[in-house]
């Protein structure tokens, strides 16, 4: 009996030691990449590239992944890079994604690695800046790749590293982003079981992680309405058909769709006009008025209803005044939905990375993300990493897309840890 107890104690001691060593290894590797992540990020920040043109960024990423012994595929959806890390043990394929593109924004943050790059965007000379933090996403995922490659012998499955172009939208006349990467077959080739993504935000304190189960970010769609009338002198409107008057009624009618025709107790929705253009002078009723706007919502069924009701409302109102309305809906990004079961399952992993007190359940966000396309294919979880220094008020910090957007470098280790922990824990739980 005594011998059995001793043997049991020895076994438990060895088990505890093995567990401690297992926990220690990723921590040690994470520590070793901290400065590299910061260095990479500063380089990308100083050398930003717009969507579908991220050639320099992609080259650096591909070279790094190849140096880690991965199978690397390049030139997907123009500049996308996919790295495949196969662990030594069988298990699921886990996808991790970072977006690479910058924005046509002139940076106004005084940094030693400030972007001074300029380009011509839609005929206008503009600055180029990583005003949404995609530079940090790329650097953190490169760090995660190095950590997980260092644990290849312990990995229970395969990691699919996706470095994606054009999350902010492709150049006019081109396809791009997550939708094009899927169209070009990355999921068919590598068959991930689950997808994880992370986005830095100034809307949380540095190192905090924000999450939300279910619909988390809105769909984003654009509509265009052209109202055709009959041009006449402003003093004799009865001799023509006034598209300006019809357009004004259409604006009012469309604004009543969400408030009166959509069940917003199910999920909220927004329809906003952003531009109305028509006419050239005060005493001429023009022939045409053009309007453009955006649609945001959190339910895919409501989304289709809104599309149809905008068409019906605009065409009928125009017809009632003798005008004609042409309506086009341009579908953008779907609703970003975090799989509820996956979210609940992975919260302990996020707590390990950030600390339980730094996990924040977030409200719905009316901004959009094309990670949503991946989450339509496999269960997905998309979380937010706080990037505003703790001595600043994140509630008043310049937002993402601002020329004053700033990301605190101390948060990067939490982001890298989160991506690493999500991967390891998912693989461990799937065995």
List residues with catalytic annotation: 333, 409
Buried/exposed code over 135-148 (b: 16+ C-beta within 10 A; e: otherwise): bbbbbbbbbbbbbb
How far is 415 from 143, CA to CA, in rounded Å?
Answer: 10
Distances (CA, A) of 113 to 43, 47, 60: 7, 9, 18
Q: What is the DSSP letter of 263?
A: -
Strands 380-388 and 194-205: parallel
Per-residue tokens: 359 = 């996990």
Distance CA 57, CA 80 (A): 10
Angle made by CA atoms 411, 77, 303, in degrees to the nearest 5: 75
* Both tokens assigned to 1: 């009996």
Q: Enumerate residues 6+ apart whose C-beta is below 8 A from 173.
A: none
**Structure-token pair, residue 362:** 């977030």
Question: CA-CA distance, 238 to 336, in Å (whole number)?
Answer: 49
* Contact of 160 with 84, CB cutoff 8 Å: yes
Strands (E), 191-320: 194-205, 209-211, 214-217, 219-228, 232-233, 269-277, 284-285, 288-297
Cα–Cα distance measured from residue 26 to residue 22, given in angstroms and rounded to the nearest whole number:
7
Can you tell me the distance from the alpha carbon of 318 to that of 249, in angstroms, rounded to the nearest whole number?
8
Distance CA(291)–CA(273), nearest Å, equals: 7
Task: Give DSSP secondary structure letters for 88-139.
Answer: SEEEEEEEEEEE---BS-------TT----EEEETTEEEE-B-TTSHHHHHH
DSSP string, 276-293: EE--SSTTEE-SEEEEEE
């Amino acid at each position: 009996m005594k011998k059995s107890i001793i043997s049991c104690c020895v076994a438990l001691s060895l088990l505890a030691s093995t567990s401690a060593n297992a926990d220690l290894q990723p921590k040690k590797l994470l520590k070793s990449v901290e400065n590299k992540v910061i260095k990479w990020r500063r380089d990308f920040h100083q050398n930003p590239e717009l969507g579908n043109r991220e050639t320099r960024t992609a080259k650096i990423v591909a070279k790094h992944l190849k140096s880690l012994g991965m199978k690397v595929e390049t030139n997907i959806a123009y500049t996308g890079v996919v790295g495949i890390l196969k662990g030594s043990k069988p298990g699921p394929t886990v996808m991790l994604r970072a977006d690479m593109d910058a924005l046509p924004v002139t940076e106004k943050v005084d940094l030693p690695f400030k972007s001074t790059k300029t380009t011509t965007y839609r005929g206008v000379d503009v600055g180029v800046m990583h005003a949404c933090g995609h530079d940090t996403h790329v650097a953190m995922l490169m760090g995660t790749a190095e950590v997980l490659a260092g644990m290849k012998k312990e990995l229970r499955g395969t990691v699919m590293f996706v470095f994606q172009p054009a999350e902010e939208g492709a150049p006019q006349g081109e396809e791009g982003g997550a939708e094009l990467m899927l169209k070009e077959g990355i999921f068919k080739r590598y068959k991930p079981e689950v997808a994880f993504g992370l986005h830095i935000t100034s809307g949380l304190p540095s190192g905090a992680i924000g999450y939300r189960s279910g619909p988390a970010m809105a769909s984003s769609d654009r509509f265009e309405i052209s109202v055709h009338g009959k041009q006449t002198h402003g003093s004799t409107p009865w001799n023509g058909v006034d598209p300006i008057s019809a357009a004004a009624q259409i604006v009012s009618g469309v604004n009543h769709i969400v408030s009166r025709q959509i069940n917003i107790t199910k999920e909220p929705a927004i329809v906003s006009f952003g531009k109305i253009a028509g006419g050239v002078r005060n005493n001429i009723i023009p022939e045409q008025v053009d309007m453009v706007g955006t649609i945001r919502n959190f339910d895919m069924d409501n989304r289709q209803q809104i599309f149809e009701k905008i068409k019906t409302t605009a065409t009928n109102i125009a017809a009632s005044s003798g005008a004609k309305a042409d309506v086009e809906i341009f579908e953008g990004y779907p609703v970003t939905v975090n799989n509820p079961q996956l979210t609940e399952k992975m919260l302990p992993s996020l707590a390990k990375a950030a600390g339980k007190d730094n996990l924040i359940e977030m409200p719905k966000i009316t901004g959009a993300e094309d990670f949503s396309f991946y989450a339509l294919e496999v269960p997905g979880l998309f979380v937010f990493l706080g990037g505003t220094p703790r001595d600043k008020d994140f509630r008043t910090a310049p937002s993402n897309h601002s020329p004053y957007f700033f990301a605190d470098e101390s948060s990067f280790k939490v982001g890298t840890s989160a991506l690493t922990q999500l991967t390891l824990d998912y693989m461990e739980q799937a065995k």
